[in-house]
């Protein structure tokens, strides 16, 4: 339309329609009613990452098999364990400048908007997928050394230390990226095997569900006077969660994966056709 807008409101469209002589007059309500009934709504959007890993299906299927107790087509044994691990970075301790107020009848709790930054932790967590056991540490930074500490925390205790196999599912973050990470983990612990999710598919990593619970139940709203309080609160959550934890009822299967990828490929093909037509 030649306007410096990425999105137009109903009032913008009404003004432009009159200015261009499309109509003599039109109300904002009429514009909205027309837009609301139309099948295509270009003002709506959502962020999206298309799969770009050439081995997406293979890597995702390997992870899903482990969730359902399989590896390379064979059932896992009683001495095999599956760990889902990752880092939740930059968890700030935000000390509110004023004390908020508690909830009142028909009124929500009020939290002071302004705060002082008291530093931040990275929470590194490992989740035993089938035994519903959570391990975690708070570190100043992420990296190979911090990840090594998390691995040590798990692998230096039973049943993992003497297990036949311990599969570590991780994303492709710098702490555990690529073939070098696979070799490094096996050097630390010969019975440990690194399994990477596909690139841009951390949603396949079950520990992200733990981070979601932590964010909703512990870190929102964020009001901690110092880093030590924040760390203690996170670790207290971890202790409490281990008392009530159950394995997640993971229902997303390889058949679901095929359906998802088929939809994505169909959408990509349609997008390519539209580009060629344009």
All domains of the chain in start order, with CATH? 8-38 (no CATH), 56-96+113-246 (3.30.420.10)
Alpha helices in the chain (DSSP H): 10-19, 28-37, 56-67, 144-155, 178-188, 207-217, 227-244, 254-277
pLDDT of 56 reads: 92
The larger pLDDT score, comparing residue 261 to residue 206, is at: 206
d(CA 15, CA 268): 35
State residue 223 phi and psi, 5-degree precision. Answer: -150, 90
Chain mean pLDDT for the chain: 93
| Per-residue pLDDT reduced to its tens digit, 56-109 | 999 999 999 999 999 999 999 999 999 999 999 999 999 999 998 888 898 898
On whether the CB atoms of residues 206 and 68 are closer than 8 A, the answer is no
On whether the CB atoms of residues 86 and 173 are closer than 8 A, the answer is yes
Q: Identify any residues that bridge with 166 across adjacent strands, giving them in sequence order.
A: 81, 192
State residue 156 phi and psi, 5-degree precision. Answer: -90, 5
Tokens representing 32 are: 């909205």
- Helix, strand, coil % in the chain, rounded to nearest 5: 40, 20, 40
Residue 214, pLDDT above cutoff 70: yes
pLDDT of 278 reads: 61
d(CA 265, CA 49): 13
- Report the candidate in 176, 245, 177, 236 with the shortest Cα–Cα distance to residue 210: 245
pLDDT of 1 reads: 58
pLDDT of 23 reads: 92
pLDDT of 6 reads: 82
pLDDT of 265 reads: 78
Alpha helices in 104-220 (DSSP H): 144-155, 178-188, 207-217
| Per-residue pLDDT reduced to its tens digit, 176-210 | 999 999 999 999 999 999 999 999 898 999 999 99
| Per-residue pLDDT reduced to its tens digit, 15-58 | 999 999 999 999 999 999 998 898 888 778 887 777 788 899 99
165-170 and 80-96 beta bridge pairing = parallel
* For residue 77, cis peptide bond before it (omega within 30 degrees of 0): no
pLDDT of 46 reads: 81
Residue 258, pLDDT above cutoff 80: yes
């Amino acid at each position: 339309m030649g306007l410096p807008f990425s999105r137009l409101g109903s009032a913008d469209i009404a003004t432009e329609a009159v200015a261009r002589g499309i109509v003599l007059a039109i109300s904002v309500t009429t514009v909205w009613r027309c837009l609301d009934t139309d099948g295509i709504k270009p003002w709506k959007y959502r962020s999206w990452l298309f799969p770009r890993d050439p081995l997406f299906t293979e890597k995702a299927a390997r992870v899903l098999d482990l969730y359902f107790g399989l590896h390379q087509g064979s059932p896992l044994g009683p001495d095999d364990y599956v760990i889902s691990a990752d880092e939740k970075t930059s968890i700030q301790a935000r000390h509110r400048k004023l004390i908020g107020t508690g909830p009142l009848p028909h009124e929500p709790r009020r939290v002071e908007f302004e705060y002082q930054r008291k530093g931040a932790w990275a929470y590194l967590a490992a989740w035993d997928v089938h035994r519903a056991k959570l391990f975690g540490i708070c570190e100043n930074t992420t990296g190979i050394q911090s990840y090594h500490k998390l691995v040590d925390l798990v692998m230096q205790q039973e049943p993992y230390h003497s297990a036949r196999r311990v599969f570590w599912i991780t994303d492709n973050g710098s702490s555990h990226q690529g073939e070098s990470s696979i070799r490094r983990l096996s050097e630390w612990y010969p019975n440990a095997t690194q399994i990477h999710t596909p690139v841009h598919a951390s949603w396949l990593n079950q520990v992200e569900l733990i981070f979601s619970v932590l964010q909703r139940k512990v870190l929102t709203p964020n009001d901690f006077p110092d880093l030590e309080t924040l760390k203690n609160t996170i670790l207290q959550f971890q202790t409490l969660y281990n008392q009530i934890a159950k394995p997640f009822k993971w229902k997303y299967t390889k058949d679901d994966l095929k359906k998802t990828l088929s939809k994505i490929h169909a959408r990509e093909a349609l997008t390519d056709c539209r580009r060629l037509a344009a």
